[in-house]
Amino acid sequence: MQIQIINGIYRKPVPDLATAYPVNLMPVAEDSGVSKGYLRSARGVRKIADTEQDRGGYVWNGTHYRVLGSNLVTVAENGSTSIVGSVGSGGTVRFAQSFDRLAINSGTRLYYLKDGTLSQVTDPDLGPVYSLIWIDGYFMTTDGTSLVVTELNNPTSVDPLKYGSSEADPDPVVGLLSLRGEVYALNRNTIEVFNNTGSTGFPFARQRGAQIPKGCVGPHAFAPFIETFAFVGSGRNEQPGVFLAGAGQAIQISPKELDGELAALSELELASIELESLNDNGIRELLIHLPNRTWVYSWTASQKFDTPVWYCLAGGAEADEAYPARHHVFSGGKWWCGSDSAIGYVDDTITSQFGESPGYVFMTPMLYNAGKGALVHELELVTIGGTSSVGEEVPTIFCAASDDGITFSEERAASLGGSGDRRHRTAWRRMGRFRNWRVYRFRGIADAPRAFPRLEAQLEGLS
Does some domain include residue 110? Answer: yes
- Residue 184 CA to residue 178 CA, distance in Å, equals 6
pLDDT value of position 87: 99
Residues 28 and 53 in one domain: no
Does some domain include residue 356? Answer: no
Per-residue pLDDT, averaged over 140-157, amounts to 96
pLDDT tens, residue by residue, 434-462: 999 999 999 999 988 999 999 999 999 98
Residues 307 and 373 in one domain: no
Report whether pLDDT(276) > 80. Answer: yes
Per-residue pLDDT, averaged over 320-331, amounts to 98
Using 50, 70 and 90 to split pLDDT, how confident is the model at 392? low
- Residue 198 CA to residue 264 CA, distance in Å, equals 44
Report whether pLDDT(418) > 80. Answer: no
Q: Which are the contacts of 374, defined by CB distance < 8 A and separation ≥ 6?
A: 367, 433, 434, 459, 460, 461, 462
Using 50, 70 and 90 to split pLDDT, how confident is the model at 214? very high
DSSP 3-state of 393 = coil
Per-residue pLDDT, averaged over 222-250, amounts to 96
pLDDT value of position 315: 98
pLDDT value of position 389: 55
What percent of the chain lies above the pLDDT cut of 90? 86
pLDDT tens, residue by residue, 326-344: 999 999 999 999 999 999 9
Using 50, 70 and 90 to split pLDDT, how confident is the model at 248? confident
Q: Is the pTM above the cut of 0.85?
A: yes
Report whether pLDDT(38) > 60. Answer: yes
Residues 407 and 328 in one domain: no
pLDDT value of position 49: 97
Does some domain include residue 355? Answer: no
Q: Domain tally for the chain?
A: 2
Does some domain include residue 145? Answer: yes
Report whether pLDDT(230) > 60. Answer: yes
- Residue 301 CA to residue 279 CA, distance in Å, equals 13
Q: Which are the contacts of 186, defined by CB distance < 8 A and separation ≥ 6?
A: 173, 174, 175, 176, 177, 215, 216, 222, 231, 233
DSSP-assigned letters across all residues of 234-270: E-TT---EEEEE-SS-EEE---HHHHHHHHTS-HHHH
Question: Higher model confidence: residue 209 or residue 428?
Answer: 428
Phi, psi of 271 (to 5 degrees): -65, -15
pLDDT value of position 252: 98
Residues 204 and 140 in one domain: yes
pLDDT value of position 35: 85
Q: Computed over its alpha carbons, how large is the radius of gyration of the chain?
A: 25
Q: Find out whether 433 and 462 touch, Cβ atoms under 8 Å.
A: yes
Residues 340 and 366 in one domain: no
pLDDT tens, residue by residue, 81-95: 999 999 999 999 999
Residues 251 and 396 in one domain: no
Report whether pLDDT(27) > 60. Answer: yes
Element (H, E) at 301: helix 299-305
Per-residue pLDDT, averaged over 150-168, amounts to 93
Using 50, 70 and 90 to split pLDDT, how confident is the model at 386? low
Residues 56 and 138 in one domain: yes
Q: Which of 350, 371, 395 is the last residue of a domain?
A: 350
Q: Which are the contacts of 396, defined by CB distance < 8 A and separation ≥ 6?
A: 413, 414, 415, 416, 444
Using 50, 70 and 90 to split pLDDT, how confident is the model at 391? low
CATH number of the domain encompassing residue 13: 2.60.120
Residues 114 and 220 in one domain: yes
Mean pLDDT, all residues of the chain: 94
Residues 212 and 181 in one domain: yes
Q: Which of 326, 350, 374 is the last residue of a domain?
A: 350
Residues 341 and 381 in one domain: no
pLDDT value of position 442: 98
pLDDT tens, residue by residue, 166-210: 887 889 999 999 999 999 999 999 999 999 998 889 999 999 889
CATH number of the domain encompassing residue 327: 2.130.10.10
pLDDT tens, residue by residue, 249-263: 999 999 999 999 999
pLDDT value of position 354: 98
Which structural domain, as residue segments, surrounds residue 19?
2-42+361-461
